[in-house]
Chains A and B, each alone.
Chain A
Amino acid sequence: MNIIVCIKQVPDTTNVRIDPETNTLVRSGVQSIVNPFDMYAIEEGVRLKEKFGGTVTIITMGPPQAEEALREAISLGADGAILISDRAFAGSDTWATSYTLSRAIQKIGKFDIIICGKQAIDGDTAQVGPGIAAFLDIPQITFVKKIEDIKDSLMRSERMTEEGYDIVESPLPCLITVVKEINEPRLPSLKGKLRAKKAEIKKLEAKDLDADPDLLGLKGSPTKVVKIFTPSPRKGGQILEGEVKDVSEKLVELLKSEIC
């Protein structure tokens, strides 16, 4: 089984702070990590390989330092990795990113399943997974919380919904995006890290992709960011002080008219 996992290196937004004086984002000292949802994608890919045999290839579109993320994925059990990097890709929105990744995947050739994390924690859009599927014209199943079985090129999986889940069957090849419920990612192994250190990372640039240059990077992005600002912080109110029974009484007084 040829498994492709798409990952993204992102700033650790859980550790990003707002500077209270300038009211701006403080990015310095914030680590770059593999997008958390992609860790689940990598784990699922490796598990599928362990169950059905085959190879797991990790791809990422990003600046040269994204190579670290690829090596981390190899230390977790992936077989190979490809860095898709070029100045021409800078400023890509989700449309251009989906286009670029789909061209790269076509260059890779045959595949049975593409696995993406549900969304990246910097953009939070969840658009690139379905975008790639649309460009490659393959079926998609989003928010997969469990792959029940794969038999005779048919995959049966559970797709998370607001009320519970749907059981959806799709022929291969297909693309899935995964949610955190799907598995518990393993920790890297020492042998994996050693392999990752020595691994040769293939590189793809714009010229390698058979892509229309007008559809890449900032030029190829239908959406443009015109402004970035920090939201005005919600102000705190009052702290109720006193004994448990007094503060409780006060709170009930304040709220009871709002509830009915």
Chain B
Amino acid sequence: MSIKIINEKCVGCKLCVRTCPFGAIELVNKKAVIDLHKCTLCGACIESCKFDAIVLTKINPTDMPFPKKFDEYKGVWVFCEQKKGVVQSVAYELLGKGRELADTLGVELCGVLLGENVKGEAQKVIHRGVNKVYLVDEAALKHYQDEPYSKVLIQLIKEHKPEIVLCGASSIGRSLISRVAIGIHAGLTADCTGLDIDIKERLLLQTRPAFGGNIMATIICPNHRPQMSTVRHKVMKEAVENKHYKGKIIEKSYDAKIYYSRTRLLDVVEEIEETVNLTEANVIVSGGRGMQSPENFKLIEDLAKSLGGAVGASRAAVDSGWKTYSHQVGQTGKTVCPKIYIACGISGQIQHLVGMQSSEIIVAINKDPHAPIFTVATYGIVGDLFEVLPELTRRFKEALKR
């Protein structure tokens, strides 16, 4: 498959040059030229050209290997990450989406659970609407280690051939699934924000942000199975719990050497912060460069307390050492999706927005009326946060009787 410019139609308007996310097009002698080294055939330029001067040439059948037979790959799997013997809520969110996908495809939804003494958790997974749970309960799997978990999951996938595997994009999930994808020669798309089915082609349509969240890409995996995706916490809605749901728990066990790990977990250190559950919070009050000093974060903490919420920080505040990284919201921090997100002294650069823009209600307090945050805020206050925050804290305390 290749792409080319029809020179006769090209007028040198440069629209495609500006559109290409990979910088692969430049104007040479007033005509567009595509650098095939950089081009990924995404087709963004084709859509943007008003003169139909760019075409994608068809696949030459001898170029691509014949698509394999995929009839034997059926089912939607969700890897149920557990920590300290408790299944994490991101797995329940994926089960919610997984059920939708499975129903569209007319196949089973299965959970995969690895751990020690987690049969009770397996039952909870059943209550979230799966048809089956594949359970591997071994002492060696108590804590996550890359090698044993990858080898077990690879084995399960090879044996039972799901067509789709979903996993939470946590620090465990991302390490695990990346390694598994290689072992089974599967396509993996990370941090998906949208998952849909193209029923005609029986393909999973995976949508995810790229370029720091500036663009969205839809990705398919036409010639390999399973199709694998990771999804971040709080992007999908949790599957509803229903204690009447029934399903099968299939216990698997393997030869001891599959559990062998070259790496050893020596210790687990928890850094307990008051705001441990930033990603679970319903209300988050966040501070940025406008707070000016670490002492001023007390204003943020007071407001958060009056609202029963958590404290977040922009990258600027964390880089300045005013708050630790566990509070950081944004592209390189946490993605949060609370009901209310109050951004104080945060300008609203795209790298921060991608971490909180799916909050239901965004409130912005900033002295600069041109701060980009106001373009996404449900309610904005242009003012001095050092005056507004204490006033809000006082009033909320009264109104909510806290």
Contacts and interface: CB of A to CB of B under 8 A. Distances in A.
A222 B187 contact: yes
A224 B219 contact: yes
Interface in A215-250: 218-219, 221-231, 233-241, 244-245, 247-249
A258 B339 contact: yes
B216 A228 contact: yes
Interface of B: 1, 15, 17-23, 35-44, 48, 63-65, 83, 146-147, 150, 170-172, 174-175, 178-183, 185-191, 205-206, 209-224, 261-272, 276, 279, 282-283, 307-308, 325, 331-332, 339-340, 349-351, 357, 360-363, 369, 374-384, 387-388, 391-392, 395-396, 399-400
6 contacts: A14-B351, A134-B178, A225-B219, A244-B387, A249-B395, A260-B400
Given A140-B175, A181-B325, A236 B380 contact: yes
A139 B262 contact: yes
Contact of B380 (A11, A135, A240): A240
B308 A236 contact: no
Interface of A: 11, 13-14, 16-19, 22, 24-28, 30, 32, 63-64, 85, 87, 90-91, 93-95, 98, 121-131, 133-135, 139-143, 156, 158-171, 174, 180-181, 214, 218-219, 221-231, 233-241, 244-245, 247-249, 251-252, 254-256, 258-260
A161 B171 contact: yes
A164 B271 contact: yes
B189 A28 contact: no
Most buried by A among B39, B63, B170, B179: B179
Given A122-B211, A237-B379, A255 B23 contact: no
A134 B37 contact: no
Given A244-B383, A251-B379, A11 B41 contact: no
B400 A259 contact: yes
Q: DSSP majority for the B interface?
A: mixed
A127 B167 CA distance: 13
A126 B146 contact: no
Contact of A168 (B48, B64, B213, B266): B266
Most buried by B among A24, A142, A161: A24
A241 B216 CA distance: 35
Most buried by A among B308, B369, B399: B399
Contacts of B183: 134
A158 B17 CA distance: 44
B37 A225 contact: no
A234 B361 CA distance: 11
B187 A218 contact: no
Contact of B21 (A19, A27, A231): A27
Q: Closest 8 A-B residue pairs measured CB to CB?
A: A222-B187, A134-B182, A13-B212, A130-B178, A164-B271, A222-B224, A223-B187, A237-B378
Contact of A141 (B191, B263, B391): B263
Contacts of A225: 40-43, 217-219
A95 B219 CA distance: 14
Given A225-B40, A238-B380, A252-B396, A24 B63 contact: no
A90 to B, nearest CB: 5
Nearest to A158: B269
Nearest to A63: B37
B214 A230 contact: yes
A16 B42 CA distance: 18
B18 A247 contact: no
Contact of A95 (B18, B40, B188, B262): B188
A248 B388 contact: yes
Contacts of B190: 124-127
Contacts of B271: 163-165
B38 A63 contact: yes
A248 B191 contact: no
